[in-house]
Amino acid sequence: MSVLQIERLSIAFGGVRAIDDVNLTVPKGCVFSIIGPNGAGKTTLFNLISGVYRPTQGQVLLDGTDVSGFAPDRLARRGLSRTFQNLQIFFRLSALENVMVGRNRHETTNVIQDLLRLPSVWRQNRATREAAMAALARVGLAADADKSAASLPYGAMKRLEIARALASEPQVLLLDEPAAGCNPVETEELDDIIRAIVDDGVTVVLVEHDMRLVMNISDRIHVLANGRTLTEGTAAEVRANPAVVEAYLGTHNARGRAVA
Amino acid sequence: MAEFLQFLFSGLTVGAVYALVALGFTLIYNASGIINFAQGEFVMLGGMTTVFLALVGVPLPLAAVVAVLAAVAVGLLLHRFAIEPARGADTVSLIMITIGASIFLRGAAQVVFDKRFHSLPHLFGTDPLRIGGAAILPQSLVVLAGATVIVVLLWIFIDRTLFGKAVIATAANRLAARLVGINTGHMIGFSFAISAAIGALAGILVTPITLTSYDVGTLLALKGFAAAMLGGMGYALGAVVGGLLLGLLEAFSAGYLSSKYKDVVAFLVILAVFFVMPQGLLGRAKVERV
Amino acid sequence: MPRLIDSRYTPLIAVALIALLLPLIFPSPYYYRIGALVFIFALAVIGLNLLMGFAGQVSLGHAGFLGIGAYAVAVGPTHLGLPSWFCIFAGAGASALVAYAVGQPILRLKGHYLAVATLGFGIVISIVLTNEAGWTGGPDGMSVQRLVLFGWPMHGSKIWYWIGAGTLLVGVALALNLIDSPSGRALQAIHDSEVAAQVLGVRVARKKLSVFVISAVYASVAGSYLALLNGHVTPDLAGFMRSIELVAMVVLGGMGSVFGSLVGAAVLVVLPQALTSFHDYEHMMLGLIVMGFMILLRRGIVPALGAALTGRAL
């Protein structure tokens, strides 16, 4: 049963096809990794899936529904959430408040109620706070809840983004290079965090350069190069594929030479 | 037809001034990312200084030269004492600093000069030329010719000199420009100087037609800013096109629709353009990178 | 220090204390008028601060809403025979509607484009007020009938001092409520990263529009009060310089600081009064002060003081 499906997806920026005719199917409840050399189009693909970019062509199906061209907030309300490669922390807010924003789609009060601080807002705030604390705890940041998000170390900010995305209770979570800039211990912890997320029934789509993490954790790996699908398979299959090595090293690759 | 030509010429004349002000905005914006709301005060300074020097008997050409130099000095002082110390401030703070500077300059002009309207003699007299039934002031042609010369000189300077390349490099990427050894601080100071000179020249050229007073800068700054945005902020050509378009819009809506509501029409058109092209007419859409 | 009260409401208590204690040190009744002006401007500034300081959206045309509110209480009673108190609400409603209609297209714009668009909006309002002389009295403005509540005429600075203070307290309370609510968090999130807020499900356009409407209502009520206090309105109230003054108050006091809004309003209302003896040099001084504050106290008075005193922003 696939929760996320991409059919013949393409996007062009000024004639350059950053994503070119990509198909992939993400089964429910797995860790699905997308890898590829720099500039392969991984983040662009995430931006397409999460609605930040509109595809030039093709379809994105979420839980069987065509959601191509949906705005990000609409997708979020359908259970898709993500983190960012370049951190997008809300620096004005505390760590806890950052995660509380993640609860937005579950909050039901309107702006008039908020202004008047009706009892419903009280209840809402309490519920949001509890859920956000729980999400912070899941990434090991419970102790930092009241700190300013801007004061957190880099690795903690990365986990804060995961907590924020988790707080929205997604069915699909896109993680964009969560291990970038993390030390080995933090990466290890990340491995545990992701496994726990999947155990809770969330499907994780991962873009990552840390190959140890990818190979350890992924159920399936999709390899992109120059915006196109190179191959897809299990960790063992991908590792054994000479084309993948070529794509990364580029020396024997005619396309790579042409580009260089 | 005569009517149309009349509106066309008056629109182009005013538009040329807007274009020069917009160009000043663009130069400073490109070098520093700052919107300099004191840009209109340079226009005022150019006109008012010339007027008052001429009043005390300085020959007009000399008065004009001194006025431009005075504006340049003010531009450099503004950069040195208001912009440089505020390095790293956010956009709104920087906007407020330049607005503070424009209030200050207006107040200073009110004290140094006076609060009355002033004019300058027309360069080639006030007998209108008859073109296709329309009466055109020779000074209008002077304004258009002057603006053209300024734009062409600026273009040659930017396009053909090493210094100009440094300006372009700074505009394209300030950090990278610094890394290849360009003193971007100097570039910003230079952009203030050039913008001040352009503004002052515009003020001198147009004063015979529109008159000047200590407070003409505000509206010109607003119009110039709007024109620069209409063309697409950061594009010199956009500034010129935006300025001329805004002038034409005003002239034609004043002529054919309502002179009272010409500014309203102009702003509505600008809003409509933004609605369809959020980056301005010549600006390129940016892809948000996340 | 034990937390006797929820620190979230510190600004509310501070404003209440200031309003109550200030008259004790007023040397003459004239100061009630200045106090009233400070409170009324602070009201508009809090609204604008919600838009600028919290949601991060610039408006260089907010005096337009001051103008709508002011002319509502001027035109309504004079030309339509409506009671003044009703016109305060009608003006607020009209401002909300205008903000709703104008905000839809305008708030899609970002940065300097938004600045031009809001600037244009303000100018359009002031041009309409200037040109529709039959209704508004044109450039010279028109006189405003006094507010009469339950048969009592609301006349004199003292009454408006207390009306201003009372309304300001309501305005502060509502703003504090909003900040610590789902909408408030969403707005602050939009300020820092629109795209991140959006992928978390925040309806960015709708949230921006709602805070724009709220800030318009704040400004409109302030405008109505100003007109009723002065007994006269001119289109200057809606002009570009007024809009700039409002923005300067926000930035001076501190973006995102509710209490800072009061401080910013106080500084820019009191200073020109203090400077009138320098008459000719008034503008120069004002320009210098704005520049000086922006350069030296970039974050604004209240956040800078807060950081200096306690290590955290007030």
Q: What is the pLDDT of residues A80-114, one digit of tens each?
A: 999 999 999 999 999 999 999 999 999 999 999 99
Looking at chain A from residue 137 to 166, which residues have their Cβ under 8 Å from any Cβ of chain C? 164-165
Residue B280: DSSP 8-state: -
- Other C-beta atoms closer than 10 Å to the C-beta of A98 total 32
Mean per-residue pLDDT over chain C, rounded: 90
Q: Are strands A220-225 and A203-207 parallel, antiparallel or unpaired?
A: unpaired
Q: Is the pLDDT of residue A47 over 50?
A: yes
The per-residue pLDDT for range A137-149, each reduced to its tens digit, is 999 999 999 999 9
In this prediction, residues C235-258 reach a mean pLDDT of 91
Answer whether A52 sits within 8 Å of B287, measured CB to CB.
no
Is C112 in Cβ contact with B229 (below 8 Å)?
yes
Host H or E run for residue C278: none
Q: Count of CB atoms within 10 A of residue B72's CB?
A: 20
If you search the block for the tokens 């004005």, which residue do you land on? A92
C80-106, pLDDT tens digit by residue?
999 999 999 999 999 999 999 999 989
Conformation bin of residue B182: beta by default, left when phi > 0, alpha when psi is -120 to 50: beta
Residue B235 lies in a domain: yes
Domain assignment present for residue B288? The answer is no
pLDDT on residue B290? 67
Q: What is the pLDDT of residue A250?
A: 61
pTM of the predicted protein model: 0.91
How long is chain C?
A: 314
Domain A2-79+170-259 has CATH 3.40.50.300: yes
Distance CA C303, CA C314 (A): 6
Percent of chain B with pLDDT over 70: 98
Domain that holds residue B113: 2-276
Strands (E) across B121-219 are located at 129-131, 134-136
What are the tens digits of pLDDT across the range C4-48?
455 678 889 999 999 999 999 888 888 999 999 999 999 999 999
Contacts of A93 in chain C (CB under 8 A): 185, 188-189, 192
DSSP structural state of residue B223: H
Is A81 an 8 Å CB contact of chain C? yes
Asked if C207 and C55 count as a contact pair (C-beta separation under 8 A), the reply is yes
Give the domain ranges of chain C.
Answer: 28-240
The answer to whether the CB atoms of A72 and C199 lie below 8 A apart is yes
Mean pLDDT of C158-174: 96
Paired strand residues for A7: A59
From the list C127, C248, C288, the residue facing B261 with the nearest CB is C127
CB contact under 8 A, C201 and A76: yes
Distance CA C250, CA C244 (A): 10
Residues of C in contact with B271 (CB under 8 A): 105-106, 117, 120
Whether C249 contacts C41, CB under 8 Å: yes
What's the pLDDT score for residue C311? 53
- Average pLDDT, rounded, for chain B: 90
The predicted model gives B25-33 an average pLDDT of 89
* Residue A41 φ/ψ, nearest 5 degrees: 110, 15
Specify the 3-state DSSP secondary structure of A172: strand
Going from the C-alpha of A21 to that of each of A8, A9, A15, A226, B258, the distances in angstroms are 4, 5, 14, 11, 55
What's the pLDDT tens digit per position in A174-229? 999 999 888 899 999 999 999 999 999 999 999 999 999 999 999 999 999 999 99
pLDDT of residue A255: 44
Taking CA atoms, what residue in B is nearest to C251?
B93
In the predicted model, what is the mean pLDDT of residues B153-172? 86
The whole-angstrom distance between B157's CA and the closest CA on chain C is 28
Tell me whether residue B184 is exposed, middle or buried, using C-beta atoms within 10 angstroms of its C-beta: 0 to 12, 13 to 18, 19 or more.
Answer: middle
Q: What DSSP assignment string belongs to B2-20?
A: HHHHHHHHHHHHHHHHHHH
- Tell me: pLDDT of C276 over 80: no
Give chain B's domain count: 1
Please tell me the predicted confidence (pLDDT) of residue A256. 39
Q: For residues B273 and B280, what is the distance between their CA atoms, to the nearest angstrom?
A: 7
C239 has a pLDDT exceeding 70: yes
DSSP assignment of A33-86, as one string? Answer: EEE-STTSSHHHHHHHHTTSS--SEEEEEETTEE-TT--HHHHHHTTEEE--SS
Please report residues of A whose CB lies closer than 8 A to that of B284.
none
- CA–CA distance, A259 with A156 (Å, rounded to integer): 37
- Best residue of C7, C181, C195 to probe chain A, by most A CBs closer than 10 Å: C181
Question: Which is higher by pLDDT, A190 or C279?
Answer: A190
Chain C partners within 8 Å of B278 (Cβ): 108-110, 113
- Chains near B with 3+ CB pairs less than 8 A apart are A, C
Structure confidence at residue C136 (pLDDT): 93
Residue with the two structure tokens 């226009």: B43
Q: Is A83 on the interface with B (CB under 8 A)?
A: no
Q: For residue C199, which residues of chain A lie inside 8 Å, CB to CB?
A: 50-52, 72-73, 75-76, 80-82, 165
Output the pLDDT for position A260. Answer: 31
Contacts of B91 in chain C (CB under 8 A): 58, 111-112
Give CA C181 to chain center in angstroms: 21
**pLDDT top residue among C170 and B232:** C170
Residue A140, judged by CB atoms within 10 A of its CB (0-12, 13-18, 19+), counts as: middle
- What is the ipTM metric for this complex? 0.90
Q: Please state the separation of Cα C190 from the chain's center in Å.
A: 22
Chain B residues near residue C247 by CB distance under 8 angstroms: 92, 96
| Contacting A residues, span 49-68, partner chain B, CB-CB under 8 Å | 52-53
Q: Rounded to whole angstroms, what are the CA distances from C80 to A222, A254, B132, C68?
A: 71, 81, 51, 16
Strand, coil or helix: what is C34? Answer: helix
Q: Do A90 and C189 touch (CB under 8 A)?
A: yes
Report in angstroms the alpha-carbon separations of A209 from A180, A226, A251, C268: 7, 16, 19, 54
Q: With cut-offs at 50, 70 and 90, classify the pLDDT of residue C313.
A: very low
Q: Which chains touch C (3 or more CB pairs under 8 A)?
A: A, B
Arithmetic mean of pLDDT, C153-159: 85
Q: Which of B91, B77, B73, B72 is nearest to B32 (CA)?
A: B91
Q: Name the token pair of B270.
A: 């600008």
> Using CA atoms, how far apart are residues B82 and A167, in angstroms rounded to an integer?
45
What is the distance between the alpha carbons of residues B30 and B233, in angstroms, rounded to a whole number?
A: 9
Please state the rounded mean pLDDT for residues B255-270: 86
pLDDT at C28: 87
pLDDT more than 90, % of chain A = 82
Question: Closest Cα of chain B to A227: distance in Å?
Answer: 16
B285 to chain A: which residues are within 8 Å by CB? Answer: none
The end-to-end CA distance of chain B, in Å, is 54
Residue-level pLDDT at A193: 95
**CATH number for the domain that contains residue B218:** 1.10.3470
pLDDT of residue B96: 86
Q: Is residue B283 part of a domain?
A: no
**Cβ-based neighbour number of residue B103 at 10 Å:** 29
Give the CA distances from residue A201 to residues A167, A170, C201, in Å, rounded to whole numbers and listed in that order: 14, 10, 20
In this predicted structure, what is the pLDDT of residue C148?
84
Query: Where are the domains positioned within chain A?
Result: 2-79+170-259, 90-163
